[in-house]
Amino acid sequence: MVCVCLLTGIASNTYAQKKLPAELRAQAALHKNDTAGVEPLRQLSLQLQATRPDSALMYAQQGLELARKFSFKKGEADCMNRLGVVLWKNGKYDQALSFLLNSLKIREEINDRLGILKSLSDIGIVYSDQLDNVKALSYHFKAKAVAVELHETARLGIILANIGNCYIKLNKVDSALNYEMQAYAIKQTLKDTATMPNTLSILGDINYKMGHTALALDYYRVSVNYATKTNDKNSLADSYNSIAELYKQTGVPDSCIYYATLALNAAKTAMYPEGIFHASNLLTSVYRGKNDHLELQYLKASIAAKDSMFNAEKIKQIQTLSFNEAARQEEIAEEKHREEEARIVNLQLVGIAVFIPTFFLIVLLLSKSRTHRKVIEFMSVLALLLAFEFLTLFIHPFVQRISNHLPVLELVILVCLASVLVPFHHKLTHFMHERLVHGHKPNHPAAPAPQPEKKAVKTHAARRKPAQG
């Protein structure tokens, strides 16, 4: 009964896998002359990526051409990112990085935050596969910040797993375990079986480095289980290679050969150069000194795979792309800095523009009150100075722009403006002085009215003349 149910489930899954591409092809054909046809083509590329990478590349390219035909920027960025992922999985890192960086640029221009998250994460993976894990971490942490901002929990789990993978490659086991366990918890909660094989395989690598061989083997086997169910050949190749490496280190060559061969077959099916390289390398080392024919066969396969990923021309191209992207990011950072400075200056100008009329109003109100005349006079002069200096400050950038920063021309313009503003300033000062200061009533009691001066009345004592005899 269990077998029947299992076979039924497999049959249903196979039918669904065949049905979905057929539906997507029908949608793409229906909308071949409008932007609605871009997304079905992108989805077709995604569906066929694991089993038919050539077809996946073709559909992504068709989607890109359709998006460009109608100047559909979001569709263009999505298909470029899709092309980058397919090329990355096929080991064409230089081309992959070019498409991913161009996709990121467009997504930043149209402020597609979710798209930016995807591009940052994929660019980080490419750098990690190129063994530049420090640069990979910088992109993964940027992606992590955007995922937290957008509450993209599922994508956050993927990014945390990638961060853990970078740390294990840098031999920082504790940090790797911390991030990988966070990723595992998220994927368990969301029941994310699609990306679980990768996380389990990395947990196996971490435990192997910690000396927990049995636990590492358990993680690898569970990873294989998940990858088999989802037909994820890349993850199968990675897990089989890890198991083969474990058996090689523990001195079990037969098991190493068995799992390395499984890894090589899975990697060839997926056209996965990194998987081919590791599997061939393992088999070369096992057969060295035991079977010259097989040793040479696998050595050639290993060299070919390595050359497809790391030849000098590709490394040079990646370095050029990295340099250009670093320069672009610096320009973006400088532009943001300039915008922030301009915003601060504008806010200050707005504050001054609001303050000066308010100050004038205060002076006007004080002129109606019993404030001392000297205070009103000082404040009125100060208000005018503020107004005219603000006007000069406000027009100065325009003067610089008109004069193109030529000192002689700038001086001539400023002198012409001063010839208009200075007389106007004097007139306004006189007006303020007459209206506000002379018209002001001082704040002290009125002097008593002068009283008419009274004439003093002089009285003289009567003088008696001596009696004459």
Task: Give per-residue pLDDT as tens, 116-153.
Answer: 999 999 999 999 988 889 999 999 999 999 999 999 99
Question: Smallest Cα–Cα separation from 234: which of 130, 86, 41, 334?
Answer: 86
* Structure confidence at residue 429 as a pLDDT band (50, 70, 90): low
Which stretches within 90-232 are classed as H helix? 93-109, 113-129, 133-150, 153-169, 173-190, 196-209, 213-230
- pLDDT of amino acid 393: 72
Alpha-carbon gap, residue 36 to 458, rounded angstroms: 122
- pLDDT of amino acid 242: 95
Sequence letter at residue 1: M
Q: Are 171 and 187 in contact (CB under 8 A)?
A: no
- Percent of the chain scored above 90 by pLDDT? 46
Alpha-carbon gap, residue 362 to 35, rounded angstroms: 61
Highest mean pLDDT among 88-102, 253-267, 399-413, 432-446: 253-267
Alpha-carbon gap, residue 320 to 339, rounded angstroms: 29
* Structure confidence at residue 323 as a pLDDT band (50, 70, 90): low
- pLDDT of amino acid 331: 67
Question: Smallest Cα–Cα separation from 64: which of 21, 26, 98?
Answer: 98
Alpha-carbon gap, residue 7 to 30, rounded angstroms: 35
* Structure confidence at residue 166 as a pLDDT band (50, 70, 90): very high
Residue 34: DSSP 8-state:
S
Element housing 235 (H / E)? helix 233-249
* Structure confidence at residue 469 as a pLDDT band (50, 70, 90): very low
Alpha-carbon gap, residue 333 to 200, rounded angstroms: 37
* SS3 at position 239: helix
- pLDDT of amino acid 436: 58
- Residue 72, both tokens: 């559909």
The model's pLDDT over 329-377, given as tens digits with 9 standing for 90+, comes to 666 776 777 778 778 878 877 887 787 778 777 766 766 666 666 776 6
Highest mean pLDDT among 202-206, 313-317, 434-438: 202-206
- pLDDT of amino acid 10: 33
What is the model's pTM? 0.66
- Percent of the chain scored above 70 by pLDDT? 76
pLDDT, average across residues 92-109: 91
Question: Smallest Cα–Cα separation from 241: which of 260, 213, 218?
Answer: 260
Residues 6+ apart with CB under 8 A from 279: 237, 240, 241, 244, 260, 261, 263, 264, 267
Could you give phi then psi for residue 132, rounded to 5 degrees? -100, 75
pLDDT at residue 185 is higher than 90: yes
Q: End-to-end CA distance of the chain: give it in Å, rounded.
A: 181
pLDDT, average across residues 83-93: 87
* SS3 at position 130: coil
Could you give phi then psi for residue 311, rounded to 5 degrees? -70, 160
Length, in residues, of the chain: 469
- pLDDT of amino acid 466: 47
Secondary-structure breakdown of the chain: helix, strand, coil percentages, each rounded to the nearest 5 = 80, 0, 20
- pLDDT of amino acid 184: 95
- Residue 79, both tokens: 């298909």
- pLDDT of amino acid 208: 94
Range from 141-150, 269-278, 283-292, 339-348 carrying the lowest mean pLDDT:
339-348
pLDDT at residue 224 is higher than 90: yes
Q: Are 150 and 117 in contact (CB under 8 A)?
A: yes
Alpha-carbon gap, residue 325 to 415, rounded angstroms: 47
For the four alpha carbons of 359, 365, 368 and 370, in that order, the dihedral sign comes to: negative
**When comparing pLDDT for 279 and 404, which is higher?**
279
pLDDT, average across residues 177-202: 93
- Strands annotated E in 298-413: none
Q: Are 96 and 321 in contact (CB under 8 A)?
A: no
pLDDT at residue 14 is higher than 50: no
* SS3 at position 272: coil
- pLDDT of amino acid 197: 93
- Residue 325, both tokens: 């992207």
Domains, the chain, ordered by start: 205-310 (1.25.40.10), 354-438 (no CATH)
**When comparing pLDDT for 60 and 406, which is higher?**
60
- pLDDT of amino acid 320: 65
- pLDDT of amino acid 32: 86
- pLDDT of amino acid 437: 56
